[in-house]
Amino acid sequence: MILIVDDKPENRISLRKFLEKSNFEVDEAGSGEEALKKIYNNLYSLIILDVQMPGMDGFEVAETILGYSKAADTPILFLSAVNIDKEFITRGYRAGGVDYITKPFDPDILLLKVKTFNRLFEQTHELKEIKEKLTGEIEQRKVLEKKKDEFISIASHELRTPLTSMRGYIQLLERMLAKEKNEAIKTYIGKAGYQINKLNELVDDLLDISRIDSGKLEFKWKAFSLSDMLKQTVENISQMHRDYNIELKGDTDIELIGDELRLEQVVVNFLTNAIKYSPNNKEIFVKTTLSKDQVKVSVTDYGIGISPELQTKLFEKFFRVEENAVRFQGLGIGLFICADIIHRHRGTCGVESEPGKGSTFFFKIPRDQPSVS
């Protein structure tokens, strides 16, 4: 709606008729004071202000409007019998436009200006509404995200307690059945134990995720032998996957400062992925390369590989390659945790891969770490 402010009723009436003919909604005020009251209570898309009025003149009204946040975006068009000092009209007006037209005015020019200002106001208004809506949605998403993180944290803690006791009972049963002749019972208990271990690993990963999200993933820094850790890890994984041939290559006798268990977790993750994603080729290499101030550990498989455009996303939380998601089970959190662990060691994770040929996942970390306790 457009507000016409003019002390002369005949001027208001003719302007009103003219604008209404062009389908604009119009309101009127006969003085500066009345205009201010109306502007305070209503939202106008344009204010057409007569400059010469008894009492408050058009400029004073415009100055006062500046203080109203509600009318800050409303453009003002001055109507004046004399030329307005341009300095005045460019002074201090923030968002909405401001312009003037001298009387007697050319109706076509007036209409053009009214239409332009009206459109400007509508667009500004629409943008404002979109911005408010988006801000609201972002806030809502943040709240939901926080609730989801809290849920993961609580759920994984809750899952852990019954899992730990089940694990204990299975271990007890395994010991009791050591001399058992019935092989089927032994096999089933062994399988149940294996599945419980897998569940336990999943819960551990979920717990790590919520610790990373809340910045509470703790590290224990100390000097250790990377070579011994790798040897032991390769041995353990090889025992669990006897059909795979995992070979350790490269520099030996590497001492490192870092969190041994966490780095082992990264290697285990790379290795179990290498096994999982190469069902048809059972060769895997673990390689260490030592340079002056950093060490690189890489795990190479000859499995399904990953296309180049997806490689940058692999270390993101919950990312899984969609086309393989049904064939291979997983949650898409292992590599995210690896990247965080390596990042905390001031290092980087990376991947080189070709679809159908295989992948090399690696991490590089500096040999000295700042925080040793």
Residues that bind ligand ADP (CB under 6 A): 269, 273-274, 277, 301, 303-304, 306, 314, 319-321, 324, 330-336, 359
Q: How far is the CB of 359 from ligand ADP (least distance, A)?
A: 4
Q: How far is the CB of 156 from ligand ADP (least distance, A)?
A: 15
Q: Which is nearer to ligand ADP, 42 or 312 (CB)?
A: 312
Tell me the CA distances in angstroms from 368 to 69, 223, 224, 292, one per residue in order.
Answer: 57, 9, 12, 11
Tell me the CA distances in angstroms from 175 to 169, 179, 195, one per residue in order.
Answer: 10, 8, 18
Q: How far apart are CA 62 and CA 66, in angstroms?
A: 6
Locus of tokens 């068009």? 77
Q: How far is the CB of 152 from ligand ADP (least distance, A)?
A: 15
Q: Which is nearer to ligand ADP, 52 or 311 (CB)?
A: 311
Q: Which is nearer to ligand ADP, 48 or 314 (CB)?
A: 314
Q: How far is the CB of 319 from ligand ADP (least distance, A)?
A: 6
Q: What is the rounded (10 degree) CA torsion for 84, 111, 95, 139?
A: 170
The pair of structure tokens assigned to 30 is 């006969």
Q: How far is the CB of 282 from ligand ADP (least distance, A)?
A: 13
Let me know if 34 is exposed, middle or buried by CB neighbors in 10 A (0-12, 13-18, 19+). middle
The DSSP code for 322 is G
Closest-CB residue for ligand ADP? 330
Q: How far apart are CA 355 and CA 189, in angstroms?
A: 38
Q: How far is the CB of 314 from ligand ADP (least distance, A)?
A: 5
Q: Which is nearer to ligand ADP, 32 or 303 (CB)?
A: 303
Q: Which is nearer to ligand ADP, 6 or 208 (CB)?
A: 208
Q: Which is nearer to ligand ADP, 68 or 328 (CB)?
A: 328
Q: Which is nearer to ligand ADP, 224 or 277 (CB)?
A: 277
The pair of structure tokens assigned to 346 is 């001031």
Sign of CA dihedral 207, 212, 214, 216: positive
Tell me the CA distances in angstroms from 19 to 40, 46, 259, one per residue in order.
Answer: 23, 12, 76
Q: How far is the CB of 290 from ligand ADP (least distance, A)?
A: 24
Q: Which helix (H) or strand (E) holds 112?
A: helix 107-176
Q: In sequence order, which residues have a C-beta less than 8 Å from that of residue 247 and are 6 or more positions away?
A: 283, 284, 285, 286
Q: Which is nearer to ligand ADP, 143 or 331 (CB)?
A: 331
Q: Which helix (H) or strand (E) holds 240?
A: helix 226-240
Q: How far is the CB of 202 from ligand ADP (least distance, A)?
A: 9
